[in-house]
Amino acid sequence: MSAQLQENIGKAEGYLARFKENTLGHYINGEWTLGSGETFDNTSPVDQSYLGKVAAASEADVNAACEAAAAAAAGWAATPGAERRKILHRLGDELEKRAEEIAMVESMDCGQALRFMRQAAVRGAANFRFFADQAPEARNGLSLHQAEHTNFTVRNPLGPVAVITPWNTPFMLSTWKIAPALAAGCTVVHKPAELSPLTASILAECADAAGLPKGVWNMVNGFGTVAGKALTQHPAIKAVALVGDSATGKLIQAQTAQTLKRLHLELGGKNPVIVFDDADFDRALDAVVFMIYSLNGQRCTSSSRLLVQSGIKDKFLAALKQRVANIKVGHPLDPATEVGPLVHTGHYEKVTGYFDIAKQDGATVAVGGKSLRDEMGPGNYVTPTLFVEAKNSMRIAQEEIFGPVLTAIEFDTEEDAVRLANDTIYGLAGYIWTSNTGCAMRMADKVEAGMLWVNSENNRNLPSPFGGVKMSGIGRDGGDWSFDFYMETKNVCIAHDTHKVPVLGR
């Protein structure tokens, strides 16, 4: 064990001590509470060690959080946008003060390598600052002139909203949803994933330190079957923003049907990265490796299907095999680690199950395809894996594995690439590598995805829309698209007193 890893483990143990010693509760109406008293154990994917007890919200706990959000809604909506801007900027400052703590707690709670989690607080703070700066103009609409009438639109915050976030990069994704909701003037009830709940509490503490009024931000821990269901069905909640898998999205859509809540569902993907013969070889290789093996492959926009053109296939796969074999798997707090343990034993079993499925379906395991528990102990470690000689009809090409696992498929023509890319129930993201501008434009038009990157890995641009099509979700985040979701548009028509009003019954 390196000296740096030893030092990082010591720091992380210091940050985690309070969670081990005290049950993590809910944050409701500006106060911490254990609610009903039910709890569950939280463990680390690094070695299955105990991280502490977490309160499991009952329906009564969720109701209390929703009622607090409802009570605070009018006051927060009436708070001038310039004042909301100041508070959210202070919140960003609070996050950056605790950047090291957030990174280390997140790494130990969900298994992500520290090299990626070091940016979690910085990106979270950027989310709050970006949307904070939009808050003063969030209500602004359009002016629409007619000969004898003038129409104008305004936007008003919806009121209390539910934000349900996932376990893979929980801190950053929570800020991505909550920041625009608060900037728009909505109050929030946040339910983090039960598998990685710790940094959500740090977020709530930072909101309190920034001076957010009581009841504007509420957080409840627990399970989807109880807390999630109560939250999505509560009549005070006007909208639900979810980041999760497609099965959860279907369930929430059904649960919200009786109250006709507005939904934004950011769901799963089986995203293609399409490498043509004329692509910049080295840049494409770097991007292919990064976009599936970073963040343990546990990211919705990961490029888990490699579609590689026949003329370059052998050379590209040979270089790819070498790169995948060289990826450093290790403790997430080790600065050298590139892939850490998978988030939970259940997910580890799901991912490793695909190693046998690939062989049964006739694919070849070119690299990896095995558990590392015999070598690295009880943590949820697996080898970065590459499947080759695969067909798009195979389960490894159709189902979201959500791990450091890449499936390579050969194609011949541009038409073949389009057909293969679209032959999936998902449509979140896609990546196209070619030096032919015309080809890039044609592919961008024909590939069925909510987001496409050409000659690039996933590049984050906060004003741009983020979301998918087909089974990958409903709605868009980012920039003004977020405000369209969290706000209701109202049209006002004013007559010039020059038109003739129709007369009846005179």
Give catalytic residue positions. 266, 300
Collapsed DSSP state (helix, strand, coil) of residue 204: helix
The rounded Cα 152 to chain-centroid distance in angstroms is 35
C-alpha 164/C-alpha 68 separation (Å) is 17
Q: How far is CA 4 from CA 167, 218, 338, in A?
A: 27, 37, 15
Closest CA to 329 of 228, 404, 439: 404
| Cα–Cα distances in angstroms (integers) from residue 75 to residues 157, 183, 213, 248, 400, in the given order | 11, 14, 9, 33, 43
160-164 and 187-191 strand pairing? parallel
**Which long-range contacts link 174-178 to residues 24+ away (Cβ below 8 Å)?**
174/124, 174/199, 174/200, 174/203, 175/95, 175/123, 175/124, 175/125, 175/127, 175/128, 175/203, 176/127, 176/477, 177/241, 177/243, 177/477, 178/203, 178/217
Q: Which two tokens stand for residue 139?
A: 């209500």
Contact 376, 337 (CB under 8 A): no
342, 193 contact by CB (below 8 A): no
Asked if 288 and 320 count as a contact pair (C-beta separation under 8 A), the reply is yes
**CA trace torsion 351, 368, 292, 286 (10° rounding):** 180
CA dist., res. 270 & res. 40, Å (int): 32
